[in-house]
Chain A
Amino acid sequence: MKRLALVLLAACGAGGDSHGIQPDGNASNDAAPGDGAGCQIVPVFNPPHPVADATAPVRAEAHVFGNAGVPMFTWTVHDPTGQPVTLTPESTDGSMVDFLVPVPGDYPVVVQVSSGTLCPDLTTMLHVSQPGAHTADYRVRITPPSGAGAPPQDSIIQVMGGADVTRDLVLDPGLAINGSVKNGATGVAAYLRFMPVSSPTGYVEVFSGAGGGFSTELLGQNHQVLVVPMVPGLAPALLNWTVQTTTLDVSAGNAIAGIVKDGSGAALAGAQVQFTSNGVPSTLATTAADGSFTVRTSLATSATFDVTVAPPSGRGLPTLTATGAFGANVTIQYANTAACSLANTPVKRGATAEPGAAVTVVGTLASAGTIGGAAAQGTVRIAATADGTGKLGAVLVPRGALSAVVDLGGGDLSLSALDTSACPAQTINAPTPSVVSGTIVDGSGATLVGGLVEATPVGDLAVAGVPQLVTLSGGNGAYSLQLATGGHYDVTFSDPHAHSAPLSLADVTAGGVPTTALLGKALKLSGGVSVIGNANPVIGASIQVFPLTAGPSTRPLGETASTQTSTYAVGIPDPGAM
């Protein structure tokens, strides 16, 4: 039980309540029926996973354990709109009733028993699916406020399409953890990322203090911990953590030394070098005047590393990256290609010079040097600014088929090719941005006022650091976006109130943005939020619903915060039905 990151008392399409619902759709208590824990009512539904049907009844039967005397039963069932459902008794004592479930959704069912023993009423939720409903799995991340008595935690829920869903979120209180990070006997200030083995993306972060001590709350399960010391000379490490762990030991680790040389073979000073393996970085090293560097890693030097070398500015060099097992001594060599100067390169829109234009030269070079003898890819990101005549200064860039991202201010961005392979005299053209206009239509077919449009640059624009574009649809659902012509974006249309499902488009240009953005249907996921063994309400907990494969860079499909009454409701995409 402790190993559960989140107890979702209504798994696999069945609704939840304080008694819990098993995947077969039937309620149960934690204690086994009839084990002497007192009077208990256990309902059984047939079929256990009913589908909305106006003619075929669902049979509900109540079993009572631990009572004395002859029990008599009273049932109350409401439909998803709150209207009482007509019940047909099927047994003389009332233990068995039939009722119709013509519409999909959650049907609250209450069973009361009168007998010689006081028997608590049973309240449960019967989820009725839409005929042919599709299912979808979502990852729900709950981040309680500090003091709520539970750590952040993830869980997977399965939702059937076509009907709103009730799920109570019952949080594992986890464990209050006190520990320390040490190098030998010395405490170490460090960044700690505790990643549960069962859901690594649902991690908990904490910093240890100067003395190495830290406190946090964690689920009582095994974790991997990324420890990044904040003091020089100590290697970041990925450590195992169990509930018995009190000290996280870090050390200087193993040294990987090397030298960085420019294209002429001369030492390159001031370059930043880092090795990373399986998400564990080394220390950062800056090359000395003789081009030498030493990084420290907690891994064996024989491991396979991603190596990144960022050149000093002003040399017209790309950032080199390569992956391999390079050993403890690595020579990094830039390709022997002279840089190209952009001096006097005009920046124009059409025939008009653009003084003050901010230009970022970006691109990828397949072979820009070697790392440990292996070919290294080059990534170019070099900024320049046009002078008062609209011409660039003597900024060096690598030679190759590159691109120029031109920012004329006020959101006027452009992307154009810049081939410096032969370093010819050329003009950087800043094409007019593309204006995309359209209408957002919500899941019910109505135009959406206040719909959110987010265009996140990808590719060259992202490398150039172009910020995300955001706009809201107007009174008639109309939106307008000004995008860099030829630029690529991830575009998302969404309803800030989550009454419709977002429409996400990956890696599109202006031509790929729909003029009519149709949002999907949403269904309401709602319920209570509580912490096991804690009667206090959970107020202001962040609740985010992600696709199953979401990582730390993924935006949620829907998000909300728990209310003053410890409840929540969030719109999520409706998986629909056949």
Chain B
Amino acid sequence: MRLAAVVAVAGLVPGCFYTEPLNQRPSARIDGQPSAVVYRGDHVDLSAESNDPDNDPLAYKWRAYACTDAQLGVGAAGGCDQVPYLQGLLKTFSFDVPRLRATGDPAQSVLVDLEVSDTHEATAKPIQQLIIPLGDRGPTVVASKAFHRAYVVDQPVNIFAAVGDPDDGIMPPPALAWTVFSPASQPAFTLTDIANVPADPMHPELAQFGKVLVPHGAGSWDVQIVATDPLGMTAMTDVPIDVFADRPPCLEQVAPIVPPTGQTYPLDQATQFQALVVDDDLDVYPASGDPITGLTTFSWTILPPGGTTRVPVSTTNHVLVDPASYAPGDIVEVRVEVNDRNNRSLAGCAANAPTCSLTGDACIQRQTWRVEVR
């Protein structure tokens, strides 16, 4: 256009021919292309490497588009958003890689256009384009189970999973799939949600979920948790749980001292007979801090002097035996039996046996003191 005007003017002016120098378009390219894999949320710094033969001032116009497949171009189905999510007018162009396209789909590539023009509106050709393929950081998942003294058949086990995704975030969190692998005998189980597990204030980037597993059989259980992000990347963890059948409680410590076979304990003062410590997988004494652990049940009896029937005297962990309630020389048997919520029968032990072990070992559920009142 400008050239035609110059020629026309030159033809009308004899003896004087002046031509304005032809303006040349600038050239440009994009510098700073990332050499490493770029992930959503990463920061990218680009700059324009440009040159104008006429040394005209240059103008820059950057446009960044979030895309699924940037090769398909802007506006195409499966391509890039119609509208750039960021534009720039400086020689440099910095941006955070978007997590999502305008459609809400995860961004999988970014298309960057750079248009450079001089003051004569000559534009570098072709328009520079940079396609940044985006990697996908997979989700993270960490799981744990509530700590108990033991994991017992039919007793609930709380399992928690903390899930995150560095590039997709947790709004919404990655999808979780919980799979229970039961022991070979394939006992039944239930797996139910724990509602509204609070986030860890120290790790707000993680979402917490929980489930309650109630295993109805003994053996090695495994709860597999798979987290999947919107692009299908997965992370997996598992929580092994060795589940045992309930075992009988064990009298660990008693007071006073138990006399050896054939001997008697000399009761010369009012004395608390006590089960000081009972160990069990479910019901212990004294109380533990575990909310699913209960308290041992106790049954104290006394066989009075010359008696044949034991008299129940206490259902706590102790009974006070006072020699003032007897005569010197009286022989009294004080007995404690312990049980847990499964209320086992000690009928298999002879009634006159001073101790009873349902497991035939050092774990006893009955202790008897033969006492001589002094």
Shortest CB distance B339–A (Å): 15
Complexed CA–CA distance, A346 and B270 (Å): 34
Query: Is B255 part of the contact surface with A, judged by Cβ < 8 Å?
Result: yes
In the assembled complex, which residues on chain B have CB atoms less than 8 Å from the CB atom of A498?
286-287
Binary flags per residue of A542-578, CB closer than 8 Å to B gives 1, else 0: 1010000001111100011101000001000000000
Given contacts A272-B327, A454-B316, whether A561 and B272 have CB atoms under 8 Å apart is no
Complexed CA–CA distance, A544 and B255 (Å): 12
Query: Is B187 part of the contact surface with A, judged by Cβ < 8 Å?
Result: no
* Interface members, chain A 275-293 (any B CB < 8 Å): 276, 279, 281, 284, 286
Shortest CB distance B255–A (Å): 7
Q: Which of B259, B279, B315 contacts A207 (CB 8 A)?
A: B259
In the assembled complex, which residues on chain B have CB atoms less than 8 Å from the CB atom of A401?
none
Given contacts A207-B259, A463-B325, A555-B272, whether A468 and B286 have CB atoms under 8 Å apart is no
Complexed CA–CA distance, A7 and B276 (Å): 22
Q: Which of A272, A308, A540 contacts B252 (CB 8 A)?
A: A540
**Contacts from A to B (Cβ < 8 Å):** 143, 145, 189, 191, 205-207, 209, 228, 230, 236, 272-274, 276, 279, 281, 284, 286, 308, 310, 319, 379, 381, 452, 454, 456, 462-465, 467-468, 470, 496-498, 540-542, 544, 551-555, 559-561, 563, 569
Query: Is B277 part of the contact surface with A, judged by Cβ < 8 Å?
Result: yes
In the assembled complex, which residues on chain A have CB atoms less than 8 Å from the CB atom of B311?
465, 467
Residue of A nearest to B322 (CB): A462
Query: Is B89 part of the contact surface with A, judged by Cβ < 8 Å?
Result: no
In the assembled complex, which residues on chain A have CB atoms less than 8 Å from the CB atom of B316?
452, 454, 468, 470
Given contacts A145-B252, A467-B314, A553-B269, whether A462 and B324 have CB atoms under 8 Å apart is yes
Complexed CA–CA distance, A541 and B266 (Å): 25
Contact A465 B270 (CB under 8 A): no
Contact A542 B329 (CB under 8 A): no
In the assembled complex, which residues on chain A have CB atoms less than 8 Å from the CB atom of B252?
145, 540
Shortest CB distance B257–A (Å): 4
In the assembled complex, which residues on chain B have CB atoms less than 8 Å from the CB atom of A456?
320
In the assembled complex, which residues on chain B have CB atoms less than 8 Å from the CB atom of A555?
272, 318
Contact A279 B289 (CB under 8 A): no
Residue of B nearest to A569 (CB): B289
Q: A555-B318, A569-B289 are in contact. List 18 more A-B contacts (CB 8 A).
A: A191-B263, A207-B257, A272-B329, A284-B329, A310-B329, A381-B325, A452-B316, A464-B325, A465-B325, A467-B313, A470-B316, A540-B253, A540-B277, A540-B279, A552-B271, A553-B269, A553-B320, A561-B276
Shortest CB distance A309–B (Å): 9
Contact A553 B271 (CB under 8 A): yes
Residue of B nearest to A564 (CB): B149
Shortest CB distance B305–A (Å): 10
Interface residues on chain B, number (Cβ under 8 Å): 43
Shortest CB distance B278–A (Å): 9
**Contacts from B to A (Cβ < 8 Å):** 252-253, 255-257, 259-260, 263-266, 268-272, 276-277, 279, 284, 286-289, 295, 302, 304, 311-316, 318-320, 322, 324-325, 327-329, 374
Given contacts A189-B263, A228-B266, A552-B271, whether A143 and B315 have CB atoms under 8 Å apart is no
Given contacts A465-B325, A542-B276, A555-B272, whether A207 and B266 have CB atoms under 8 Å apart is no
Given contacts A467-B313, A553-B270, whether A143 and B287 have CB atoms under 8 Å apart is no
Residue from B255, B259, B269, B311 whose CB has the most chain A CB atoms within 10 Å: B255
Contact B374 A559 (CB under 8 A): no
Given contacts A462-B322, A468-B320, A553-B320, whether A284 and B279 have CB atoms under 8 Å apart is no
Complexed CA–CA distance, A555 and B270 (Å): 12
Residue of B nearest to A465 (CB): B325
Task: Rank and list the top 4 A-B pairs by shortest CB-CB distance, nearest first.
Answer: A310-B327, A467-B313, A205-B257, A542-B276
Q: 25 A-B contacts, Cβ less than 8 Å apart?
A: A143-B255, A143-B276, A191-B266, A205-B257, A209-B260, A236-B266, A273-B328, A276-B268, A279-B269, A281-B266, A381-B325, A464-B325, A465-B325, A467-B311, A467-B312, A467-B314, A468-B316, A496-B295, A540-B253, A542-B276, A542-B277, A552-B271, A555-B318, A560-B286, A561-B284
In the assembled complex, which residues on chain B have CB atoms less than 8 Å from the CB atom of A236?
266
CB contacts between A and B, total, < 8 Å: 115
Complexed CA–CA distance, A555 and B286 (Å): 14
Shortest CB distance A482–B (Å): 15
Given contacts A542-B276, A553-B270, whether A230 and B263 have CB atoms under 8 Å apart is yes
Shortest CB distance B251–A (Å): 12
In the assembled complex, which residues on chain A have CB atoms less than 8 Å from the CB atom of B271?
552-553
Contact A207 B260 (CB under 8 A): yes
Contact A552 B270 (CB under 8 A): yes
In the assembled complex, which residues on chain B have CB atoms less than 8 Å from the CB atom of A308?
328
Q: Which of A205, A463, A496, A559 contacts B324 (CB 8 A)?
A: A463
Contact B269 A552 (CB under 8 A): yes
Contact A207 B263 (CB under 8 A): yes
Residue of A nearest to B374 (CB): A281
Complexed CA–CA distance, A238 and B270 (Å): 19
Shortest CB distance A334–B (Å): 15
Contact A310 B270 (CB under 8 A): no
Shortest CB distance A510–B (Å): 20
Complexed CA–CA distance, A379 and B288 (Å): 44
Contact A553 B322 (CB under 8 A): yes
Contact B279 A319 (CB under 8 A): no
Complexed CA–CA distance, A6 and B62 (Å): 78
Contact B277 A561 (CB under 8 A): yes
In the assembled complex, which residues on chain B have CB atoms less than 8 Å from the CB atom of A207?
257, 259-260, 263
Complexed CA–CA distance, A228 and B288 (Å): 38
Shortest CB distance A456–B (Å): 6
Q: Which of A143, A279, A561 contacts B268 (CB 8 A)?
A: A279
Residue of A nearest to B317 (CB): A559
Contact A496 B263 (CB under 8 A): no
Complexed CA–CA distance, A468 and B312 (Å): 9
Residue of A nearest to B252 (CB): A540
Contact B322 A191 (CB under 8 A): no
Contact A274 B328 (CB under 8 A): yes
Shortest CB distance A93–B (Å): 32
In the assembled complex, which residues on chain A have CB atoms less than 8 Å from the CB atom of B304?
465
Q: Which of A228, A496, A544 contacts B374 (CB 8 A)?
A: A228
Given contacts A191-B259, A465-B304, A552-B272, whether A284 and B374 have CB atoms under 8 Å apart is yes
Complexed CA–CA distance, A467 and B315 (Å): 10
Shortest CB distance A537–B (Å): 15
Shortest CB distance B125–A (Å): 62
Contact B257 A206 (CB under 8 A): yes
Complexed CA–CA distance, A46 and B321 (Å): 51
In the assembled complex, which residues on chain B have CB atoms less than 8 Å from the CB atom of A381?
325
Complexed CA–CA distance, A215 and B220 (Å): 44
Given contacts A553-B272, A569-B289, whether A143 and B266 have CB atoms under 8 Å apart is no
In the assembled complex, which residues on chain B have CB atoms less than 8 Å from the CB atom of A563?
288
Shortest CB distance B105–A (Å): 43
Complexed CA–CA distance, A319 and B327 (Å): 8
Complexed CA–CA distance, A541 and B289 (Å): 16
